[in-house]
Amino acid sequence: MSGGFIQSTSWLQLLADLFGKEVVLIGSDDASALGAAYLSLKTNGAITDYEQVKPRFIRTFTPKLSEHEQYKRRVFPIFKSLSQSLQLDMRVAHELQAETEIQ
């Protein structure tokens, strides 16, 4: 992970708990540029495997599985329901934005 939100360890732990996956904070301020550089190195044959250019890990947030189960069982169904009920409204908002950009 990188970006402005990494300043909050609470957010990083929440992400780990929510997705049930380790969240790793890397030693780079710009992961997008780093990723682009890695893709270029591999595409041009300078490396054969991304393991050759692993970034420096600063900290790992391990998910709390009890929290993850709670999110999966209680919160995700609400998110899923809200997402489905907002699909039409989001489509209309997107079309409105596209019309505004054209003018």
The model carries a pTM of 0.65
What is the rounded (10 degree) CA torsion for 45, 46, 47, 53? Answer: -150
3-state secondary structure of 46: coil
Nearest to 26 by CA among 60, 52, 72: 60
State both tokens at 58.
Answer: 């600063």
Which one is predicted more confidently, 102 or 43? Answer: 43
Rounded to whole angstroms, how far apart are CA atoms 18 and 29?
24
13-72 confidence digits (pLDDT tens): 999 999 999 998 887 777 788 889 889 999 999 988 888 887 888 899 999 999 999 999
Q: How many CA atoms lie within 13 A of 88 on its CB side?
A: 1
Question: Does residue 56 sit in helix, strand or coil?
Answer: coil
The reported pLDDT for the residue numbered 99 is 85
- Residue 98 CA to residue 43 CA, distance in Å, equals 35
* Distance, CA of 94 to CA of 84 (rounded, Å): 16
